[in-house]
Structure 1
Amino acid sequence: MTVEKILAISGKPGLYELKVQTRSGFVAESMIDGKKITVSLRSNVSLLSEISMYTYTEEKPLVDIMRAIAVKENEGQAISHKEDNAKLIAYFKEVLPDYDEDRVYPSDIKKVLNWYNMLQQKGMVSKEEPKVADAEVVKEEVVKEVKAKKEAKIEKVNKKDEKEQKPKAKAKK
């Protein structure tokens, strides 16, 4: 499952695919309708590969949960996220029997199933284990890009400070 560049943006429905980073944020494409949007750095954005859910023993990565759904459904569609809460909870218990019922709400289950079905329609779900090296390489690239942008901003600020500190030459009379 390749979800390293799939984003969930707070306040916006569905999932988005990271297309390109810009100076002030990035451009993402909606997986629902294919429209591209610009997202500022101030927006609350989560990478799907970084999201996890609570179990009684640990936090389980969302990728592993989606892989469990893919195994259960033989890479087909899961039940609709619009089913009633009792059905959703029963279904989710089959997928992840030890999830923490006190900290994982029906709304969380709905979101996971909606996201899974969205990714399944795009052919992005798989029963196979992810290639850890690929995920680490992508994560390292993103970290390098962010560090480079921060360093460029710091350098720009330092140059501006240097210009302001130099005294202006007085004209001779």
Structure 2
Amino acid sequence: MNLQGIVAVSGKPGLWRALAQNKTGYVLESLDAQKTKLIANLSTAKLAALNEITIFGLEDDIKLTDVFERMKAADSIPTGKEDGKKLREFFYTVAADHDEEKVYASDMKKIITWFNLLKELPLFNEEAPSAPIATEQEILAPEPVKEEVAAPGAEAPKAKSKKAPAKKA
């Protein structure tokens, strides 16, 4: 699932794709059929990237992408208009260790609405791009120090010396 560039904007319904960035914010396009364009000012709008959103869990937070993967495999997905009890029952199947006190029915409705909007898009079935991962040896190994070595028969490189400034008497 490739959710790179997909954001939720506070105060705006639905999901948005980041198209470009300018001095003041981002140019966004809605993922619905209207393909509405929006310029989100960074000083006033709050953007949340879907691939970075987590859900409160009892032990650890649960990544939204993991919940979406489980929702793909689910038999039936309730609509966002169901009552809170049915949504909570469904959420126990896709995010069993979510924190009941911190995850509200409105959060579950939003996640289900987002899933229903995303499942039709081709990016939903794409593999997420992965950055090259450095191995532990590359991280821990210091970079070799390069020394100047004079060729045989050549003069050795002169070391630069700093002279102390002359004292005025």
Could you tell me which residue of structure 1 aligns to residue 2 of structure 2? 2
Q: 2:36 matched to 1:38? A: no
Deviation at residue 10 of structure 1 after TM alignment: 0.2
Larger CA Rg, structure 1 vs 2: 2
- Which residue number in structure 1 is paired with residue 74 of structure 2? 72
Alignment of 1:84-95 (within 5 A): 84-95=83-94
Deviations 1:9-67 (A, max 9, x none): 00000000000111111100011221111111111111011110011110111111111
Match of 1:143 in 2: none
Aligned equivalent of 1:57, options 43, 56, 59: 59
User: Could you tell me which residue of structure 2 aligns to residue 107 of structure 1?
Assistant: 106
Distance in 1 between the 2:69 and 2:129 partners?
Answer: 13
- Distance apart, 1:68 and its partner CA: 1.0
CA contact (8 A) 2:62 2:95 kept: no
More helix per residue: 1
Report SS of the residue matched to 1:109: helix
Displacement of 1:112:
0.5
Runs of 5+ in structure 2 lacking a partner?
A: 134-169
1:131 Cα deviation from its structure 2 partner: 4.5
Match of 1:132 in 2: 130
Letter in 1 for 2:65: V
Does the C-alpha gap of structure 1 residues 92 and 129 become closer, same or farther in structure 2, counting only changes over 3 Å? farther
Q: What runs of 5+ residues in structure 1 fail to find an aligned partner?
A: 137-173
User: Residue type of the partner of 1:51?
Assistant: I
Distance (Å, rounded) in 2 between the aligned partners of 1:19 and 1:78: 30
Say if 1:69 and 1:78, in contact at 8 Å, map to a contact too.
Answer: yes
User: Taking structure 2 as the reference length, what is the TM-score of the superposition?
Assistant: 0.71
Contact 2:3 2:128 in 1 (8 A): no
Query: Secondary structure at 1:124's aligned position in 2?
Result: helix
Which residue number corresponds to residue 11 of structure 2?
A: 11
Residues 54, 61 of structure 2: 8 Å contact kept: yes
In 2, the alpha carbon distance for the partners of 1:40 and 1:29 equals 14
Question: CA–CA distance in 2 between the matches of 1:21 and 1:85?
Answer: 38
TM-superposed deviation, 1:85: 1.1
Are residues 1:28 and 2:25 paired?
no
User: How many aligned positions are there?
Assistant: 131
CA contact (8 A) 1:66 1:125 kept: no
Distance in 1 separating the partners of 2:73 and 2:98: 18
